[in-house]
Amino acid sequence: MAIKVGIPKSLLFYEYYPLWISFFEGLGAEVIVSDDTNKEILDIGVKASIDEACIPVKIFHGHVINIKDKVDYLFIPRIKSLFKNEYICPKFSGLPEMIKSSIKELPPIIDVEINFFKSKKHLKDTVIRAGRYVSSSNRVIMSSYNRAYLEYKKHRKKIKEGIINELTGADIVKNNIVDVRKVMVMGHPYNLYDSYLNMNLLNKIKQNEAKVFTPEMIDDKYLNKYVKDFDGELYWTFARKLIGTALYLSHKECVDGIIYISTFGCGIDSVVGDIVEKLIRRNSRIPFVHISLDEHSGEAGINTRVEAFMDMIKWRDVLEDNISAHG
Ligand code: SF4
């Protein structure tokens, strides 16, 4: 019988799922992903975690409880750094410990360290250590990883393909063949793609006849180019991506509106959200709204804010300068 590896559908799952799933499946494991976030997952997660945790981390606890009894191992890597010379939020490096101290009767956790600050050899060791839970052959592990990495690259390419053209306005705006509003939704990937957490925000925007974009759709090379204009050093991956997106958008003015989603309890958002807002307001006339979510946020309140924002964008089409870009 195949070894069952559980992956919580939360946090960086949204960014790396093709890599993680295809790696373990390539080794012959059965990968079990937790259910989509729902009220039960949110409630048990909030109950299991410490009060001070941010909502995404509380939800992560709920996803762990959702699958812990169905699997032989849980994949919860200790992520310290995802890019050379950058760090990620410290909550990711403490996640395995946080889970072990908050949740009882867990299966063994595959808690390998992911740290791009270290050498290539360290990364290879990480892959081998993770794979050893399922296979005893280093050769099989590395070849499964290489295939999984190609899958991940293909997935990233698919996200970016075509969309960057729309963002830069090539052809579409020039030929005036598409008359659809474009809204960039910014925030951490798990806030953008967990539709229970954000109360289906992306679909609400689409229902207002707008096309939705997210920072993942912009190639890193553009973000890195524009982020050089930022006056200060950026050591945080999330900060680089979001500030790079803000500078890119305010330079190109290629979207009709920007919605920034943050969650209560996020230290990074409390700083980066403010910087992004200032950059957009100072350098562009793109309408901007910041929506902060917590476990008590009501859907009616989100609906009202999204509808008001979308109405404001539509009115600006007609009334132009008479409508403030910032509410
Ligand atoms: S970046 Fe913010 S939302 Fe994400 S895990 Fe860290 S504190 Fe939580």
CB 283 within 8 A of CB 325: no
Question: In this model, does residue 312 exceed pLDDT 50?
Answer: yes
- Whether the model clears a pTM of 0.85, i.e. scores above it, the answer is yes
Question: What pLDDT score was predicted for residue 47?
Answer: 95
Question: In this model, does residue 322 exceed pLDDT 60?
Answer: no
CB of 242 shorter than 6 A to ligand 1: no
Please state the separation of Cα 23 from the chain's center in Å: 20
Ligand 1, residues 238, 268, 292: which to mutate, most atoms within 8 A of Cβ? 268
Domain boundaries, the chain: 4-158, 164-322
Name the fold adopted by 164-322.
Rossmann fold (3.40.50)
| Range picked from 50-54, 93-97, 154-158 for highest mean pLDDT | 93-97
Question: In this model, does residue 54 exceed pLDDT 70?
Answer: yes
Question: In this model, does residue 175 exceed pLDDT 50?
Answer: no
Query: Sorting pLDDT into bands at 50, 70 and 90, what band is 252?
Result: confident
Question: What pLDDT score was predicted for residue 262?
Answer: 94
Q: Label residue 288 exposed, middle or buried (CB < 10 Å: 0-12, 13-18, 19+).
A: buried
Question: What pLDDT score was predicted for residue 326?
Answer: 54
Query: Sorting pLDDT into bands at 50, 70 and 90, what band is 187?
Result: very high
Question: What pLDDT score was predicted for residue 325?
Answer: 59
* Exposure class string for 295-310: b at 16+ Cβ within 10 A, else e: eebeeeebeebbeebb
Query: Sorting pLDDT into bands at 50, 70 and 90, what band is 173?
Result: very low
Question: In this model, does residue 271 exceed pLDDT 70?
Answer: yes
Ligand 1 atom closest to residue 54's alpha carbon, by position in its atom list: 8
Cα 255 from Cα 213, distance rounded (Å)? 9
Question: What pLDDT score was predicted for residue 274?
Answer: 92
Cα-to-centroid distance, 2 and ligand 1 (Å) = 34
* Secondary-structure class of domain 4-158 per CATH: alpha beta
CB of 56 shorter than 6 A to ligand 1: yes
Cα 23 from Cα 20, distance rounded (Å)? 5
Question: In this model, does residue 223 exceed pLDDT 60?
Answer: yes
CB of 241 shorter than 6 A to ligand 1: no
Question: What pLDDT score was predicted for residue 216?
Answer: 86
CB 23 within 8 A of CB 131: yes
Q: Which residue has the higher pLDDT, 38 or 209?
A: 38
Ligand 1, residues 260, 266, 292, 294: which to mutate, most atoms within 8 A of Cβ? 266
Question: In this model, does residue 323 exceed pLDDT 60?
Answer: no
Question: What pLDDT score was predicted for residue 253?
Answer: 84
Cα-to-centroid distance, 115 and ligand 1 (Å) = 18
Mean pLDDT in residue range 234-259: 90
Mean pLDDT in residue range 271-290: 92
Question: What pLDDT score was predicted for residue 10?
Answer: 95
Question: What pLDDT score was predicted for residue 80?
Answer: 93
Cα-to-centroid distance, 20 and ligand 1 (Å) = 21
DSSP string, 156-218: HHHHHTTHHHHHHTTTTTTTT----EEEEEES-HHHHH-TTTTTTHHHHHHHTTEEEE-GGGS
CB of 93 shorter than 6 A to ligand 1: no
Mean pLDDT in residue range 128-155: 95
Question: What pLDDT score was predicted for residue 174?
Answer: 39
Share of the chain above pLDDT 90, in %: 57
Mean pLDDT in residue range 185-209: 89
Cα-to-centroid distance, 271 and ligand 1 (Å) = 12
CATH topology agreement for domains 4-158 and 164-322: yes
Ligand 1 atom closest to residue 263's alpha carbon, by position in its atom list: 3
CB 64 within 8 A of CB 76: yes
CB < 8 Å & 24+ apart, contacts of 23-27: 23/127, 23/130, 23/131, 23/144, 23/145, 23/148, 24/75, 24/134, 26/143, 26/144, 26/145, 26/147, 26/148, 27/131, 27/134, 27/135, 27/140, 27/141, 27/144
Task: Give the mean pLDDT of the chain.
Answer: 88
Share of the chain above pLDDT 70, in %: 91
